[in-house]
Chain A
Amino acid sequence: METEPESTHPSKDTNATILLMGLRRGGKSSICKVVFHNMQPLDTLYLESTSKPTTEQFSSLIDLSVMELPGQLNYFEPNYDSERLFSSIGALVYVIDSQDEYLNALTNLSMIIEFAYKVNPKINIEVLIHKIDGLSEDYRIDAQRDIMQRTGDELLDLGLEGVQVSFYLTSIFDHSIYEAFSRIVQKLISELPSLENMLDNLVQHSSIDKVFLFDVNSKIYVATDSSPVDIQTYEVCAEFIDITIDLDDLYVENDQNKHTPQQPDSDKELKSISHLSNGSILYLKQMIRGLALVALIRNDDIRKDGARDTISAINQDKSLAIIDYNVNLFKQSLIKIWKNSRLDQTSR
């Protein structure tokens, strides 16, 4: 690859920075606070206007940083080293306020895209059509179509028809912002295809309906199997993490850690299983580096009349044991992948 030499310059992980841009009052800081700091969406009303570029460090399977730029500044003034900035990032996320007049934002966006694409053709360009919670169902689709159309036209005028731009409808009051960020982050993980492959294997051999690899703190999923994501399953899985952790935290005693320091770490991984009354099982297991695997397991043979007869109960326990074993295998390979990717980075 001829672009490879560019990424070897000193700043260690070049493609793992997300740049968050947009006009003022578009909701950029709110997004950061809600996704990375677990702030309640309503509290973001009281955020001050951001005056300096701020950076969030986000350490998951890869070390990410999200850089937020103040909206009211003009990046084409010569005192900003925009060129270096754009060449060092992996994804540009542009936030458009869908409740406001967005024509200005679109002009601004195409200017930024033109510039960024010139400097760094590998950049992923993502557009969040934000604050859709205030729009009615029909209007959302219209707004999205309109924005996509106009951006396409603008880019065509600039002679940039080859640029891939992805659009997401988001709001901080539901899970759509997490979904969008998950997709964006996934594009930056170079090991994603092998991860997905591994998860697919897991799903095939364990009668799992859907599996996610979550970052526990931010509820962003780093990977999932290749079946389509159902937003409700995602929500349930994300909330299951919260519930498990909340319950687990309640019985932490401060002196307990000192009493039993010799306990091996492998025993202490968080794991939780919940049987649902329709025969499904929610399954969570802690992985490495703040990741957790959450799976929804469906058992079709129990569905008949809800009652768990003993045979199916035994089958269920058996299948759980198999899933346990498979998940452990998955975890080991995850550790291997991670080690190798570290090696790659240092050798580069």
Chain B
Amino acid sequence: MSHASRKKLLLMGRSGSGKSSMRSIIFSNYSAFDTRRLGATIDVELSHLRFLGNMTLNLWDCGGQDIFMDNYFTNQKDHIFKMVQVLIHVFDVESKSINKDIEIFIKSLTNLQKYSPGAKIFVLLHKMDLVQIDKRQELFTIMMEKLQKISNPYQFKLIGFPTSIWDESLYKAWSQIVCSLIPNINLFNSNLIKFNSILDAEEIILFEKTTFLVISSTASMNQEEDDEENTVKQPEEDLDPKRFEKISNIIKTYKQSITKLRTNFNNLIIHGSNGNNFYIDILTDNMFIMIVLKQSVEELLILDNIKAARKWFEKIENA
């Protein structure tokens, strides 16, 4: 096993914007309901999360009350903003004092530029469920344009997501944030394509085991190829574009549900009502694989194939 690579993630935003709720749902198996019991975060709450075996995420959940905030930007600024890989800034869409929110965002950008200029910046517009459905997209675009303009002087490129703890948008955002940290993501992708060429599946998706965030999938790579080569290939995708997040969500619910039997699950095989077959199985110590097949193949054949693929993926993981 190679030496652990440590990543420092800052989770910032004004008080009450939902930072700790996010963290608890993604990393601590809370349900959206449970987050109501969370109190205010005092100062900085550190959590070390093992992700994909050898990657350690140091998540700094920074309490957002003004006293703490002032402290971050004055006394503790070199402590907080040094060696940051990722800043995740959370905006509450219902916030009354947007100017104050932006002011704090600028402050943290200033500090980041000084202490860790290579950091990636993600902006989450949170609590989107409180906005009317038809207004969401508009609000998101306006807000992102504004924020991008603000951060231009600091030469950061923003990546933004609309999120809510009540649907799968949270998984989408975090999945992309975490994927941006995986160094050998290309190896995973290429091996996944090879594997798919053997199975000829409708779709294969890789998930991280504990969080069930999507690491890689055949569909996302097909899309990239299409973009690069500009092929006029008909998008065979009339599938739900949010399906990855939904799967993450469903499987996490399942995992939580069977904790009532004090156990975990090894695999899940579904022969669907419309000819699809689903196989979800452990791939490595840290990954689950999901295969969707159109035609019905002998069940054992697929499971054996997964078993054979295991050692390749284990190799990449430990590289």
Contact = CB atoms under 8 A, between A and B. Distances in A.
A239 B254 contact: yes
Given A243-B253, A253-B239, A273 B269 contact: yes
A286 interface: yes
Interface of B: 202-203, 238-240, 243, 246-247, 250-251, 253-254, 257-258, 260-276, 278, 292, 296, 300
A65 interface: no
Given A248-B270, A254-B238, A274-B267, A236 B202 contact: no
A329 interface: no
B253 to A, nearest CB: 7
Interface of A: 232-233, 235-236, 239-240, 242-244, 246-248, 250-257, 260, 263, 267-278, 280, 282, 286, 296, 308, 317
B247 A269 contact: no
A271 B275 CA distance: 11
A276 B261 contact: yes
B239 A286 contact: no
A299 to B, nearest CB: 12
A268 B273 contact: yes
Nearest to A260: B275
B250 to A, nearest CB: 5
Nearest to B243: A250
Contacts of A244: 270
Given A267-B275, A286-B273, A239 B253 contact: yes
B266 A243 contact: no
A257 B274 CA distance: 8
A248 B278 CA distance: 8
Given A257-B274, A268-B274, A246 B265 contact: no
Contacts of B274: 248, 251-252, 256-257, 268
25 contacts: A232-B260, A232-B261, A235-B260, A236-B258, A240-B257, A243-B251, A251-B203, A251-B239, A251-B274, A255-B238, A267-B275, A268-B274, A268-B275, A271-B270, A272-B278, A273-B268, A274-B265, A274-B268, A274-B269, A275-B265, A275-B267, A276-B261, A276-B266, A277-B265, A317-B300
B267 A251 contact: no
B270 A247 contact: yes
Q: Is the interface of B mostly helix, strand, loop or mixed?
A: mixed
A282 B253 CA distance: 15
B239 A233 contact: no
Nearest to B274: A252
Most B C-beta atoms less than 10 A away, residue of A250, A268, A270: A250
Contacts of B269: 272-274
Contacts of A282: 258
Contacts of A239: 253-254, 257
B254 A243 contact: yes
A251 B272 contact: yes
Contacts of B263: 276-278, 280
Nearest to A274: B268
A243 B247 contact: no
A208 B311 CA distance: 34
Contacts of B253: 239, 242-243
A271 B267 CA distance: 14
B258 A251 contact: no
